[in-house]
Every structure is written in structure tokens, then in C-alpha cells.
């Protein structure tokens, strides 16, 4: 079977929604079964303000006589709303989740846990004023909640109330002495105001509690570097790198320290090490270039001193950005978005963090918010091109191809010869079925990199979709000549020959070569089965096609192929089952009409035999 892979990340499966009504009815039924005792039942995540009143409180006479109607306790309603929020969150419906959580707080306003959860959602949406109200209320309800205090401190710091933030961080440390984030934020708060020794003491406390704390050593070193105390900074950085030898953060700081010490060659060696770890580190590339041009004179460009290294930024916002990135790397996109929003509360023009936040929203499936963040990044910003690509990805996922192409053209205006951007643009035009434009761009990719077998494959697949079979075969052959192990090209050409009924022995050899490289690829196995079918070897064809169906599961073309093989073997009932299965799955009208014709033919044969 032909496959021309387009690398577009898949979406998330959405769980079915459970209505608030359903949850509330279920909880009400439980309350009636438990009787008076329900007023004292506590859910694991709920704080109950008070016990139910004795006697007839909470009951009213039924309009039709009989037993009194039992009112649903507010705590049960709150739990129902909270569960609805949980279900909506799992389904990716964050708007519904927020609405349900607001309702839960209305039912149970004395529940600090609910208020902290709501405040966190507000922060995630950038609503810091609303978040601050909820966090402050949570602290009033439960002054011993380190979670509420830590969030309140973060909001205070974001809105510039450093005094309140400092008090809250100290209280968190008193309540939860092992809370690493509180030490980090408090220490960087002191460092930002220039109180480096006080900051150092806080980081030393963290290191004493956790001698393996990479961030404790890293920020202690960063504090001393900002203070100009290089002798004190170096041991901290060395220990941080002992714990994490490939930390680009620590290595970049150490390189800056070497530059400040006048040890340029040592700094260059560290930048080279960073680029070995991550060849795409823009900061190391930029600094290497600055140092190189400063050291090499020419008539047109006399020697100039290199610009000073970027000033060390040690602040709660910088720390929060790094922690947000750590959450992002772990896949905790909700918490990453929360941290990035707190940073933007303090630094609304931090476009790097706008980019990070947009990426987090995109991972959460909140595409409108993601697009808004990427849209804030203007031309001239270092993240402009990447933000256009992210916008194109979102629009492409929404099948808004014109807007996707517009965003890609903005990126190409900055990087006209970037093959990856060209490839992305080709894919969008391909989805739009604008094959002439897609082919033109793919031809440009081949001109830019004539020895890239993947680009020849892409061009060949586009020629095939445009019904230009000879040109497609020529490009597939070029791809194979350039890379004899290009399994996709081997399979594509082999299947093409099988479809045409030409060169069937060569088709078999090509597909078998692809299967040596990727033996468990169901599409390649389908191609081999189809070659056997075209050669009239129907038993061998059915054997391979059964394997292909088992591996791919739900591809209607492979299922139809198996039905064809069964039909040739006289296994009409099984053939009909495969055709019906393929008909249920296909979205292609031409294939659907063909399958209906095959089913009707089987019925006609069955009628004639009776």
C-alpha cells in the first residue's frame, strides 16, 4: 500500500462527558441511602464547613404527599460540580472545567482546596486578579495550607507585591521545610533586590536539606556570579555540573564566568561543549560568533571588542520560567502554563515566555489561547519564525489551510531557503489538494538539496497524486539510488508497479527489500500481498494480507484487498465480510461505490447458485 507520511502530530482522544445532572442525581441517591449520616460524610478532596442540622432541617414536604423530599446538601452539590470539572478536564474542555469549578466554590465557599484549585485555573488563563482573590480567601480559610500560600506568593510576586510574597514564602518554608520551590523563589527574590548574601543563605539552607539539589547549587552559583564573587560562584557551578554534567544552563553561566575572568579560550571550549550537547543552542552559537568576529580582523571589519555577555538575570520570574520549562519537559503542561502566566504577570513583554505559554496551550489542545500567544510575537523577535510555524500547525490541525499557508509564507519570508519550512508548506498544499503549488515547492526543495532522498520521495508522491505516473516513478528511482535503504521509496515503487500490473518480479524484490528494513510494517506487508494478488498467487496474497489487516487494524484499502483475495479463492462469505467492514470505515466516495459494486456482485453470484 502507498504511504506518503506527513508528520503532523496527532490529537488527543476526548473522553465522553458526564453531565452535572447525572453526577448530582447519583450523589443525591447516595445521600438518601445514607440518611442523616450524609451530612458528616467527607470526600477525599473536600473540606466540609459544618455538620447537617438535626431534625427536619434540609427536608420539605412533597407536593403529592408521602415522604418528605430530601434536599441535596451543598457539599454534595460541590462534589458533583468538582467531579464534572474533573471529567471536563480529562476531556480537554477547560472552559467547562472552569465553569464547573466556579460552581463548586459557590456551593462550598469555605473549602480552601476548591479555592486553590480555582485560583490555579485562573492563573492558567492569565486572570491573575481573579486568582489573587481566590488564593487570599483560601489562605484566610486555611492559614496552614502551604499550597495556598505558595500560590498566593507567586501571584503577589507577579503583581509586584514582593513584601507579601516574601512573608508567604517564609511561611511555606516554616510549614513545609522541604518545599524546594519556596526556597528557590525566596532566594531569587532576595537576589533580585541585590541582597546576595541573604539569597545565598537561603540556597545554602536548601542544599543542607537536599545535598543533591541541582537547582540549589545552580542558583547559589548564579547569585554569586551576579554579585561578582567569582571565587564563591565556581564551586557551586562545579557541584551543579557534577550532579548534571550536560546542563546547558550551568555551562552557559560558567562560560560567562570565564569571560568575566578574561579566560576567553576556556569560555570558547565551554561553548563548544554546549554545542556538542545541543547543536541547536542559539545562545552558544550567538556568543561563539561574537567572540570570533571580535578576534578576527579584516580591512572591512577591524577588530572590535566582543559585546559583554548577557547580564545574569536572577529573579523569581527567571526561576519560574525555568521551573515552567521543567514541568513542560515532564509533560505537565497545566503546571507549565501556570508558571508561565505568573511570569507574564510580572513581565508582560517577555515574548520568549509568550512563546513557551503558547506551546503549552497547544499541547493542552487549547488552540485559541495558543494562537493568541503566538500572535503576540511580532516580526523582529527571535521567536517570530517559530511562532509562525506553531500558528501554521494549529491552523492546519483545524483544516484552515489558507491561514496555515499565510503563517508559513510569513516564516518563508524570513527563511526562504529553509527546507523544513518548505516541507511543511508542501504538506499543507497537499492536504488542500493544490498539487501544482505543492509540486513547485517540492521541486525547489530538490534544487536546494539534490542529494536528499526524502525530498525526491516527497516530489515523487506528489507526482503520483497528480496522475503523473512516469514522473513519480523517476523520482522514486532517484530516491532509491541516493539511499538504497529508503524503505518508503522501495515500497512506494513496488506497490506502484503492482497497481499497474507491470514489472511484478521487480515489484516483489522492491517490497521485500523494504520489509527487510521494516519487517513489521503492515502497509509494506499489504504491498507484498497485493503483488502476489497481481501475479495470481491468491493463497500467498491472502496470507500476507491477513497479516497486514492484523497489524493495521482499520485501514479500508487493506481490508478491501483481503476481500479481493478471498473472492478469488472462492471464499465469498469472508470476502463479503471484508468488503462490508471496509465500507463502514472508508470516507472515500469512489472506494465506497466500488465496494458496493463488489458486494452486489457477490450477492448476484449467490442468487444464481440457488
The 3-class secondary structure across 392-428, one letter per residue, is HHHHHHCCCHHHHHHHHHHHHHHCCCCHHHHHHHHHH
Gap between the Cα atoms of 231 and 550, Å rounded: 65
Bridge partners of 59, per DSSP, are 70
Q: What is the pLDDT of residues 491-533, one digit of tens each?
A: 999 999 999 999 999 999 999 999 999 999 999 999 999 999 9
pLDDT at 287: 84
- Alpha-carbon distance values, 360 to 125, 168, 176, 298, 331 (Å): 12, 27, 29, 46, 9
For the segment 21-44, the average pLDDT, to the nearest whole number, is 32
Structural domain contains residue 524: yes
Higher pLDDT, 48 or 320: 320
More confident residue, 27 or 311: 311
In a domain, 427, yes or no: no
Most distant CA atoms of the chain, gap in Å: 103
How many beta carbons lie within 10 A of that of residue 573, not counting itself? 9
- pLDDT score recorded for residue 76: 87
Residue 485 is assigned to a structural domain of this protein = no
Task: Establish if 235 belongs to a structural domain.
Answer: yes
**What's 243's domain CATH number?**
1.25.40.10
Q: Provide the residue range defining the domain that includes 196.
A: 177-295
Total of domains in the chain: 2
Specify the pLDDT at position 312. 67
In this predicted model, which residue has the larger pLDDT, 452 or 300? Answer: 452
Range from 319-328, 402-411, 433-442 carrying the lowest mean pLDDT: 319-328
Please check the confidence at residue 341 and state whether its pLDDT lies above 80: yes
- What is the reported pLDDT for 299? 46
Is the predicted pLDDT of residue 1 greater than 70, yes or no?
no
Take residue 583 and report the three cell numbers written for it: 465500507
User: Which three three-digit cell numbers place residue 4?
Assistant: 506518503
Kindly report, residue by residue over 110-125, the tens digit of the pLDDT.
Answer: 999 999 999 999 998 8
pLDDT class of 108 with cuts at 50, 70, 90: very high
d(CA 526, CA 544): 7
Mean pLDDT of the chain: 85
- Mean pLDDT calculated for residue range 337-344: 94
Structure confidence at residue 281 as a pLDDT band (50, 70, 90): confident
Asked whether residue 401 is assigned to any structural domain, the reply reads no
- Report pLDDT for 310: 58
The pLDDT value given to residue 579: 94
**Which of the listed residues 244, 262, 295 is the one where a domain comes to its end?**
295
pTM score over 0.85: no
- 436 or 15, higher pLDDT: 436
- Residue 166, pLDDT > 60, answer yes
Whole-number pLDDT of residue 513: 97
Percent of the chain, pLDDT > 90? 69
Which of 26-40, 59-73, 370-384, 422-436 has the lowest average pLDDT?
26-40
Collapsing DSSP states into helix, strand and coil, what is residue 376?
A: coil
Decide if pLDDT at 474 tops 60.
yes
- Overall average pLDDT of the 540-563 stretch: 93
- For residue range 351-369, list pLDDT tens digits in order: 999 999 999 999 998 999 9
pLDDT of residue 610: 54
Residue 542 lies in a domain: yes
Of the residues 295, 313, 346, the one at which a domain ends = 295
Q: Averaged over 17-34, what is the pLDDT? A: 32
Query: Higher pLDDT residue, 21 or 374?
Result: 374
Question: Within 13 Å of residue 536, how many CA atoms lie on the same side as its CB?
Answer: 0
With beta carbons less than 8 A apart as the criterion, state whether 426 and 462 touch: yes
Q: Report the pLDDT value the prediction gives residue 19, as an integer from 0 to 100.
A: 33
Q: What is the pLDDT of residue 90?
A: 83
pLDDT of residue 28: 34
Whether 116 is covered by a domain: the verdict is no
Domain assignment of residue 552, yes or no: yes
Query: Taking residues 293-322, what's their average pLDDT?
Result: 65
Which one of 295, 321, 353 terminates a domain? 295
The burial of 102, by beta-carbon neighbours within 10 Å (0-12 exposed, 13-18 middle, 19 or more buried), is given as middle
Q: Provide the 10 A C-beta neighbour count for residue 593.
A: 10
Q: Is 127's pLDDT higher than 70?
A: yes
Residue 14 is predicted with a pLDDT of 28
For residue 330, the model assigns a pLDDT of: 87
Query: What pLDDT does residue 291 have?
Result: 79
pLDDT category at 284 given cuts 50, 70, 90 is: confident
Amino acid at each position: 500500500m502507498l504511504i506518503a507520511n506527513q508528520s503532523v502530530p496527532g490529537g488527543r482522544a476526548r473522553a465522553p462527558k458526564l453531565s452535572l445532572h447525572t453526577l448530582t442525581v447519583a450523589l443525591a441517591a447516595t445521600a438518601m441511602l445514607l440518611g442523616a449520616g450524609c451530612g458528616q460524610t467527607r470526600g477525599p478532596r473536600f473540606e466540609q464547613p459544618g455538620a447537617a442540622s438535626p431534625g427536619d432541617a434540609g427536608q420539605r414536604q412533597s407536593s403529592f404527599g408521602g415522604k418528605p423530599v430530601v434536599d441535596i446538601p451543598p457539599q454534595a452539590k460541590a462534589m458533583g460540580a468538582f467531579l464534572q470539572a474533573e471529567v471536563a478536564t480529562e476531556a480537554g474542555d477547560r472552559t467547562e472545567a472552569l465553569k464547573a469549578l466556579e460552581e463548586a466554590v459557590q456551593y462550598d465557599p469555605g473549602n480552601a482546596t476548591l479555592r486553590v484549585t480555582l485560583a490555579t485555573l485562573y492563573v492558567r488563563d492569565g486572570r491573575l486578579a481573579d486568582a489573587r482573590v481566590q488564593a487570599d480567601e483560601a489562605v484566610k480559610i486555611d492559614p496552614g495550607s502551604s499550597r495556598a500560600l505558595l500560590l498566593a506568593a507567586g501571584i503577589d510576586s507577579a503583581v509586584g507585591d514582593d513584601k507579601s510574597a516574601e512573608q508567604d514564602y517564609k511561611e511555606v518554608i516554616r510549614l513545609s521545610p522541604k518545599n524546594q520551590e519556596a526556597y528557590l523563589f525566596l532566594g531569587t527574590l532576595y537576589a533580585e533586590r541585590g541582597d546576595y548574601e541573604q539569597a545565598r543563605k537561603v540556597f545554602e539552607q536548601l542544599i543542607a536539606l537536599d545535598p543533591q539539589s541541582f537547582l540549589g547549587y545552580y542558583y547559589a552559583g548564579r547569585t554569586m556570579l551576579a554579585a561578582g564573587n567569582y571565587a564563591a560562584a565556581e564551586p557551586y557551578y562545579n557541584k551543579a555540573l557534577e550532579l548534571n554534567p550536560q546542563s546547558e544552563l550551568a555551562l552557559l553561566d560558567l562560560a560567562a564566568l570565564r569571560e568575566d575572568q578574561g579566560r576567553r579560550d576556556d569560555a570558547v571550549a565551554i561553548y563548544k561543549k554546549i554545542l556538542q550537547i545541543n547543536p541547536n543552542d542559539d545562545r552558544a552559537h550567538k556568543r561563539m560568533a561574537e567572540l570570533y568576529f571580535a578576534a578576527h580582523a579584516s580591512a572591512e571589519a577591524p577588530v572590535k571588542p566582543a559585546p559583554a555577555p548577557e547580564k545574569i538575570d536572577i529573579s523569581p520570574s527567571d526561576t519560574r520560567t525555568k521551573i515552567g520549562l521543567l514541568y513542560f519537559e515532564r509533560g505537565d503542561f497545566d503546571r507549565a502554563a501556570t508558571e508561565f502566566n505568573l511570569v507574564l504577570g510580572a513581565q508582560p513583554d517577555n515574548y520568549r515566555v509568550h512563546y513557551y505559554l503558547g506551546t503549552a496551550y497547544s499541547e493542552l489542545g487549547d488552540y485559541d489561547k495558543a494562537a493568541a500567544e503566538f500572535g503576540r510575537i511580532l516580526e523582529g523577535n527571535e521567536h517570530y519564525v517559530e511562532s509562525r510555524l506553531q500558528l501554521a500547525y494549529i491552523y492546519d490541525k483545524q483544516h484552515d489551510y489558507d491561514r496555515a499557508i499565510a503563517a508559513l509564507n510569513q516564516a518563508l519570508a524570513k527563511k526562504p531557503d529553509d527546507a523544513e519550512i518548505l516541507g511543511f508548506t508542501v504538506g499543507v498544499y497537499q492536504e488542500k489538494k493544490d498539487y501544482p503549488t505543492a509540486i513547485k515547492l517540492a521541486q525547489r526543495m530538490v534544487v536546494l538539496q539534490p542529494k536528499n532522498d526524502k525530498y525526491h520521495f516527497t516530489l515523487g508522491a506528489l507526482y503520483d497524486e497528480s496522475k503523473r505516473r512516469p514522473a513519480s516513478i523517476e523520482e522514486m528511482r532517484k530516491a532509491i539510488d541516493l539511499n538504497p535503504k529508503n524503505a518508503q521509496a522501495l515500497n512506494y515503487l513496488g506497490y506502484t508497479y503492482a497497481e499497474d500490473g507491470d514489472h511484478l518480479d521487480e515489484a516483489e524484490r522492491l517490497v521485500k527489500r523494504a520489509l527487510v528494513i521494516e519487517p513489521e510494517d503492515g502497509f509494506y506487508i499489504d504491498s507484498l500481498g497485493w503483488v502476489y494478488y497481481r501475479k495470481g498467487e491468491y493463497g500467498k496474497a491472502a496470507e500476507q494480507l491477513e497479516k497486514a489487516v492484523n497489524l493495521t487494524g482499520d485501514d479500508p484499502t487493506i481490508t478491501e484487498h483481503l476481500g479481493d483475495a478471498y473472492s478469488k479463492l472462492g471464499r465469498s462469505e469472508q470476502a463479503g465480510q471484508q468488503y462490508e467492514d471496509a465500507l463502514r470505515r472508508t470516507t472515500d466516495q469512489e472506494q465506497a461505490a466500488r465496494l458496493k459494486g463488489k458486494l452486489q456482485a457477490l450477492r448476484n453470484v449467490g442468487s444464481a447458485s440457488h
